[in-house]
Amino acid sequence: MKIAAGIDLGTQSLKVVLYDYEEKRIAAQASCPLELISKEDGTREQKTEWYDAALKNAFEKLPAELRSRIEAVGVSGQQHGFVPLDKDGKSLYNVKLWNDTSTAEECRTLTEQAGGDAEVIREAGNLMLPGFTAPKILWLKNHFPEVWKKLHYILLPHDYVNYVLTGNYVMEAGDASGTALFNPAKRAWSQKLCSLIDEHLYDLLAPLIASDEQAGTVSEKAARLLGIPEGIPVSSGGGDNMMGAIGTGTVSDGFLTMSMGTSGTLYGYSDKPIADPEHGLSGFCSSMGGWLPLLCTMNCTVATEQIRSLFGLSVADFDRLAAAAEPGAQGVRVLPFFNGERTPNLPKGRASITGLTMTNSSRQNICRAAMESAVFALKGGLDAFKKLGFEPKEIRLIGGGAKSPLWRQIVADIMNVPVSVPVSEEAAALGAAVQALWCLEGGTPDRIKSLCAEHIRLNKEKSAQPGSAVCEYERAYRDYNELLGQLSPLYTHG
């Protein structure tokens, strides 16, 4: 048995899969939940100590005999989080996460200093949004100047795990392109954007390695901590969306991956830089060469979980009620901005339920409208892809939403694109394992595509085709966008 390990550091948990690449199956997997610090000002934070403990806990749950057979490790991590360390590798402050919206003021400051949105887009391929890393760095400097003076390492969550495993301080283009300090077209740090925060920031940023390079090898300390072999390669890794693209086989033009978890994402592979930041389509690099244009919303299963909790329903009961409602929920609409929102850029956004009348006010309609709202928000990304000439052949659905037959059909109908579901539910962790295998082989750019063809399988029983509800959803989507346009001014300035 030959094993590549994939680690996925998410918002809600840290997961590890041990992938037997000879038998093409997951031999074992384990996870450990993570806490979240939430505040009314939009703060969303975690602690590096939680990551350390979760990493150790997850590996300890795996059979020692299998751990001893690991030949390479790959790491996936939630994007955009800011991990500040001192010169000894100790955390200086909490990790500010992708869904932290407390940095809206820093975004305004950086955008003005850069010369406006157009200049930021020219340098970063994106707008300066609260979800990205750059405003978080300025926030730390503004709020904790004494801590700032001790800052030595600037890491993203997946890079932090690489650092724990290897002791090396490096980054790769995929995750780095989500910092708003990086030029995706040039695949290089932007000295101009860095200088807006601090004249020394550029020198603090990690050296960049190629996607197929090693971040390093497992250190003696990490080997003892996790019970894995010392000296085995650790691949470059990447953001969870970049690893999810590998783990779903979204490695060529025409295929899109849609992830429905806490956040919602829609992304596709491109051989050339593609971006439409003004319509929410970020210009990221992939973690296998090439580019990964992506739309992200901060509120996806958040909406259904909040409403499910409000009604005191189990997941099964929630789905049953939603299935009893008609497509379009008889005009009931949900704006799902429980966390504020990144796409559209409404960091002060609030959730709402509208369209209720004496005849349509039911739990069934509200439940279905919550599910539909998450997909409506992501459909804007599909529209942006099409405007740029990207013709979608198939959506590969992952995340919690992929487990629901109803949600799979809603996605197929609203997007009007066939939907398939990978066999493995842990796409990001599996993608990290496949990238680790690529690194182990010393492969070429074409080899990662053939590895995906060999190791990524789809569950034909969970596919969904667009059906009779397509026309109804076209009307409902127009209603949703009209409502969004009417309410957005309420959340833009306060």
The residue behind tokens 């820093």 is 106
Separation between Cα atoms, residue 34 and residue 49, nearest integer Å: 11
C-alpha to C-alpha distances, 240 to 79, 205, 213, 228, 398, nearest whole angstrom: 7, 21, 18, 23, 12
∠ CA 409-281-139 to the nearest 5 degrees?
A: 120
Closest by alpha carbon to 247, among 277, 264, 267?
267
Q: How are beta strands 70-77 and 238-239 bridged, if at all?
A: parallel
3-state class (DSSP) for residue 190: coil
Residue 239 phi, psi (nearest 5): -65, 160
Out of 8, 212, 240, 276, the active site residue is: 240
Residue 297 phi, psi (nearest 5): -115, 145
The residue behind tokens 């789809």 is 458
Q: Which residues pair with 281 in a beta bridge?
A: 276
Give the Cβ contact number of residue 467 at 10 Å. 11
Q: What is the DSSP string of 398-441?
A: ESGGGG-HHHHHHHHHHHTS-EEEES-S-HHHHHHHHHHHHHHH
Closest by alpha carbon to 89, among 158, 157, 148, 163?
163
Separation between Cα atoms, residue 244 and residue 251, nearest integer Å: 10
Q: How are beta strands 214-217 and 291-297 bridged, if at all?
A: unpaired
Separation between Cα atoms, residue 284 and residue 52, nearest integer Å: 28
> Would residue 8 show up in a list of annotated catalytic residues for this protein?
no
Q: Which residues pair with 154 in a beta bridge?
A: 84
**C-beta separation of 463 from 420 below 8 A:** yes
Separation between Cα atoms, residue 250 and residue 312, nearest integer Å: 37
3-state SS string for 219-279: CHHHHHHHCCCCCCEEECCEEHHHHHHHHHCCCCCCEEEEEECCCEEEEECECCCCCEHHH
Which sign does the torsion angle of CA 361, 364, 370, 373 carry?
negative
Catalytic residues: 240
